[in-house]
Structures are given as structure tokens and as C-alpha cells.
Structure 1
Amino acid sequence: MTGNNVSGNKASSTAVTIGDIAQVAGVSRSTVSRAFSRPELLSDETVRRVKAAAVQLGYVANHAARALSTGRFGNVAVVVPDIANPFFPPLVRRVQTLADAAGYAVFLGDSDEVADREANLTSRLSAQVEGFVLAAPRLDEQRIRELDSSRPVVLVNRDIDGLARVLIDPSGGLDEAVAHLHRLGHRSVVYLSGPRESWSDQQRRAALLSAAKPAGLEVTIQELGRPSSAAGRDAVGGILSSGATAVIAFDDVVAQGVMAGLALRGIDVPRDISVIGCDDTLASGTHPALTTISAASAAAGEAAAELLLAVLSSGERSDARVAIATHLVVRATSDTARDDVS
């Protein structure tokens, strides 16, 4: 009987072990293990030599076995409330880019705006990942703290003391939006809100009301619930009955729906009514181009990834609080107020 040998390698029917790699690379077994699990602890030359030996021998790392023995999975997770919302893909992509460069794979979960679903996702993912980025989480504070006690968590747009978080501060952009509308002669505006459990919505309401009062701008808050283009379109009747000459929407998706609903009624934007969005995700793709408040979701993803990777590298929890400023981007959907909109 003849064996099926690969020239220069171990027999293909025999599993390559870290001992085999150690012998070829001229290092200890523990060094081989570190080269795959904690390469930052070794010199670049040692890691290169170990991995070259592994390639020569046809070694395939058993990530499941390594995770059981070291507690290191080589994975992190990002959980978002709605991946269809264009705010989140740039954030997720930036996390993935930085995580990939650090040797981590990224798992993505979509909670569909439901706290219990988010709890189920994080519970299942905890068995496979080393840490979480929770973007606009719907979980209550206690459950987030419980999760952080087992796996490090970095929050985006949720402010919880003692936890690492990245917060997009809407106050600068809304201050500019109110000043912009005031200069154009607007004295009343409708704010189309997001979900009440959304930290971002709470901050945007507060920032808008704070800026509007000294400017003499009357604000009517119209509750939407889950933000969507359809919700924006359906809100048009309420906007018109309010007598407001301008609308600030929770996000660009809602603003797009408002513009569609106004167009169906023959109402021109911005001649008859001005519309401002938030997040700057669709602005260049609408017609006319949407005036909006930037939200820098990619920058938020980058900051969150850096915080999480630093925790995983050092093994020490962080309570860093990173704030990202916003600003108004004026395009074509805001203009001088008119008094005869109907």
C-alpha cells in the first residue's frame, strides 16, 4: 500500500499540529500558538517565520479549538436597529475595515428596532465573539451593563456612564438649521420625530427646542414612531394642517418621504415649504438636493472600532466618551418662507 504524500510536507492524511510548525520554524509550541492568537506579542519576523512554516506544511488553523482553549474567537459583532437605514452601512463598513486590519472577522446583527430581538441576538453572538459595537441600541441600561460584564461593549449614540461610547452631538447642526430657517423668514417648523426610545431622537428634540426658543421659532413635534419613507409621506397631512412653513425630519429617509408626499399634492419644495433632513445619507440623491444635518456615521464607526480594538488588545475596559460634532449642509430644499401654503 502506498501513501499519498505531498512533496516536502507531512502526509496529507495526517493533521498538521503546532508541534510540527514549531519544529520547522525553530520556535516553541507556545510561540506558534501566540503567532495565531496574539501576534502583537511577537516580533514581525517571528510571526512571518511561523506562518511561512504553516503554509509550507499546509496547516489550517482550527479557530473553534483555539477559542475553547484561549477564549479568543477572532470575531467581533456589530448590532444595529435597522440595516436598511442608510445611516448604518457606512458605520458597519468602517468597523469591518479596522477590525479586518486587526485580524478580526465581523458578525452583523439587525434587531429590527426591537429590544427583545436585540437581547436574543447579543446572547447568541456572545458565544462566538470577543466584543460588541452596539449602534443605537434599544436594550435597557441594565441589560447593556450585563452584556458588558461578559463581553466588552462600545456604544454608538447611547450615553451610559462607565461604558465606552461614541456620541454624535446634534446640537451644532440644529443650531445652524434654526439660524438658517430664521434668516429665511420661517417662524414655525414641524419636527418629525424618531422612535421615543432612540437616544438620537431624544437629543435632537432637546437640541431643536433649545435652539428654537431664543430664535422665536415655534416647534410642533409630530410623532412618527419607526422612521421610514412611508411614515414621512403619511405625515404630510399633519404638516400642512399645522401651518408650519418648514419641516425638520428625524432622518433623510423620512425627509425623502415628506418630499414625495408634498409632490403628490402639488406642493413645491422649497418654494412652498422647506424641508431639512438629518444624517446626510441621501441628500445628494434627492431632487431637489436635500438640505440636511451631517451625522458622520463612518467617523462614528471608526471611533467605535478603535475603542473596542484597544480594549481587546489591552484587556482593560474603557469608559471613554467620544463626541462627534454635526453641521448643517445647505442644498436646495430650503428657501424663503411663504405664508399661503395649503
Structure 2
Amino acid sequence: MTSAGNGASPTIYDVAQAAGVAPSTVSRTFSRPGRVNAQTAERIRQVAAELGYRTNPLARGLPTGRTSLLAIVVADVTNPFFFEIIRGAEKTARDAGYTLLMVDAHESDEAERRALDRTLPLVEGLILATSRLSDSSIRVAAKQRPTVVMNRHMTDVPSVLTDNAQGMRSAVEHLAGLGHTSLAYVAGPEASWADGMRWRAFREATRETDVQARRIGPFAPTLAGGLSAAKSLVKHPATAAVAYNDLIAIGAMRGLRRLGVEVPRDLSIVGFDNIFGSDFCTPPLTTVAAPLRHFGSFAVQRLLAQLRPSPAPAAGPTLLPAKLVERGSTARPA
């Protein structure tokens, strides 16, 4: 027995016609086992197998909301910061029987909103990784599907974040211990919650260590953003700088080299995140390390906790430790 032979996949109507039953009977056979006579159901399954008919699990799950799909929305998929996060999240989702969809927001709140409009109806839960959306927009999404935010703290939405205060304090204390007395913070996107937290932690740490502090930026969290930051670092000199993330730090080192400024002889630089490749640049980047793979795994765990039949009340944020990794981009001031 074969399908019509026009190259199209067999449909529920093809199965119904070949089995001599109504399409609704075929539908119940696959969507509600036990609601169809056993002999009839067996004949339908045999006909379906001969025709090569396959049910669409997504279409079957949409009416009930059980699609076994989760989504993680990342600000910029080309940023190595997300590589290990996605890997950790995917493994934890897979081990729990879910498939993880990845959505790129292109560092745009508007693109992120459009992506959510298309994605939310398809998934059981949502992870927003360094979202550029406002708190109110995130709350709207969280009312539609269980949601976890990363690198951001919201009192009414479960979150997983790096201990920015601990990480920034370790960076400032490291530079102060080397003898630096004038530090610059190279800021990331204005819409970034983490950037605001890191700047506040930077100011507090510099006050505690009696070090002068200034902020330059904002800059895009990219290599190109770091190249632009290099020009500002030359115009507003300091003996050391801490960047919002590793990409800005690496881009700044490249830009400074082009401008004749040698790192760390003329300027020490510290990054943040310890992304893949941060130890490959010249010089290798001193950076604040976050446990990125655990980051993704914990986010999925918190999401799965909300998907249980009797979900536990949302607890406070999951705070992951940050530690300084000393490499070659920092030294005593000349």
C-alpha cells in the first residue's frame, strides 16, 4: 500500500480513506489512546505505517500546552559568552526529556519582542539570557509561560545571575594591589541590567580601596565596541581599566595596540566572564570568571521546577560565584 504518489507526505485523510474510517477516528487513535476500539486502532496504525504517515508531535501538543519544548533567548548568538551557557542548558533540558530551542535577539529589544510573539505559543517554558526587554515586558511574558531570567534580578520572576559585586570587587582589589590608583570602567549597553550592577559594584569597590574611578561609554558588548573604547581610554587616561565583558576588553586591547599603547606596560585591562578564547589573545586576558555552563544548567533547573504539577513557590535569585583569573593583561603601573 502506498500514498497517492505525488511526492507529498501522507495526511490523516489518506490514512482515514485507506483504513475506511473517519479522519476524527484516526486523530483519536494517535492523540487519545484507549478512546478507539483496539482492533480498529491496530488497523489504523498498520495502515499509517504502510503509508509512511507520521504524527506531528508539536501540533498534537499545542492544544494541551505539552510540547516538550523550551526556549532560550540570547542577546547575541555570536557572543562566545553564550556558548557554554547554551551547552549547559541544552544538556539539562535533554536529560529531562525536553528539546531546547535557541532564539537570537540581535541585541534588539524590538527583535526580542517579535521573537517572543512567535515562540511563546510553541514552548512550555522560557529562559531570557541577558534580556534587553524592560521589566514590564518580561512580566508580560512570564504571565504567559513559566520564565527564568539570567544575569538580571527581578523580585517576581525566578533568576540566575553571577555575583557581580564579588567579581568586580576581586578585579578592583587585584588592580589596587598592583599599585593602580586610577581606574576606568568601560561600560556596556545602557539597557543591560548587569552593566548597571557592575558599575555600582565598581564604584563601591574603588571607594573601599581609595582608588579614583571614572566611567566611559556605553559601548556595544562586542569587539567593535572595544575598538571604540580604546580611543576613549586614550583621551581619558587611567592606569588600568575593567571592561563590562571580555569582548569589549579584547577589542580595547586591539585598539590600544593600534594607537601605540601597550598592554599591560602602559595600561592594565581586566575583562568579565572568562569566555572561550579569552586566554588566546595577546596578552592573555585577566578576567572575572563566571561558571557559564552551570549558569545554563541552573536556569533550566529553575524552569523545570515551575513546570512540575505542583510547582514550588519561586525562591530568590540563584547567585553563582565569580572569581578572578589572573593572566597577562595586568601588571604593576609603569
What TM-score do the two structures reach when normalised by structure 1? 0.81
Q: Given that residues 161 and 319 in structure 1 are in contact (C-alpha distance below 8 angstroms), is that contact kept between their aligned partners in structure 2? A: no
1:227 aligns with 2:221: yes
Contact 2:219 2:226 in 1 (8 A): no
2:300 equivalent to 1:328 = no
Residue among 266, 270, 293 paired with 1:298: 293
Q: What pairs up with 1:153-192 in 2 under 5 angstroms? A: 153-192=147-186
The 1:255–1:165 alpha-carbon spacing in structure 2 relative to 1, beyond 3 Å, is: same
C-alpha distance in 2, partners of 1:131/1:325? 26
| 2: CA distance, partners of 1:83 / 1:21 | 37
Say if 1:18 and 1:29, in contact at 8 Å, map to a contact too.
no
The 8 Å contact of residues 81 and 112 in structure 1, kept in 2 or not, is answered as yes
Cα distance, 1:88 vs. partner? 1.1
SS in 2 for 1:235: helix
Matches within 5 A, 1:90-239: 90-239=84-233
Partner residue of 2:247 out of 230, 247, 253:
253
State the match for 2:257 in structure 1. 263
- Higher mean alpha-carbon deviation, 210-219 vs 167-176, is at 167-176
Q: How many Å separate the matches in 2 of 1:189 and 1:92?
A: 33
Residue 283 (str. 1) matches residue 251 (str. 2): no
SS of corresponding position for 1:283: coil
Match for residue 307 of structure 2 among 298, 307, 312:
312
Shift of 1:267: 2.2
Task: Quote the Cα distance in structure 1 between the aligned partners of 2:220 and 2:133.
Answer: 16
Seen in structure 2, the aligned counterparts of structure 1 residues 192 and 140 have a Cα distance that, compared at 3 Å, is: same
> Any idea what SS the aligned residue of 2:308 has?
helix
Q: CA deviation at 1:311?
A: 1.5
Deviant stretches of 4+, over 3 Å: 13-22, 27-30, 56-61
Q: Within 2, Cα distance between the matches of 1:181 and 1:21?
A: 64
* Counterparts of 2:256 and 2:59, CA distance in 1: 59
Cα deviation digits, residues 91-124 of structure 1 (max 9, x gap): 1121111112222222211112221221111111
Which segment drifts farther, 109-118 or 76-85? Answer: 109-118
How high is the sequence identity, in percent, across the aligned residues?
33
> Matches of 1:170 and 1:68 in 2, distance apart?
39
Give how far 1:18 is off: 8.7
SS at match of 2:155: coil
**Runs (5+) with no aligned partner, structure 2:** 3-13, 20-25, 37-45
Q: Distance in 2 between matches of 1:126 and 1:235?
A: 37
Q: CA deviation at 1:246?
A: 0.5
CA contact (8 A) 2:15 2:53 kept: no
Deviation readout 1:224-261 (Å, 9 max, x if unpaired): 33222122122223212323110111111111111111
How far apart, CA to CA, are the structure 1 residues paired with 2:312 and 2:127?
A: 14
Q: 1: CA distance between counterparts of 2:59 and 2:117?
A: 21
Cα distance in 1 for partners of 2:80, 2:59 equals: 37
The question of whether the paired residues in 2 share the 8 Å contact of 1:227 and 1:251 is answered with yes
Counterpart of 1:62 in structure 2 is 56
- Give the conservation status (yes or no) of the 8 Å contact 2:167–2:322: yes
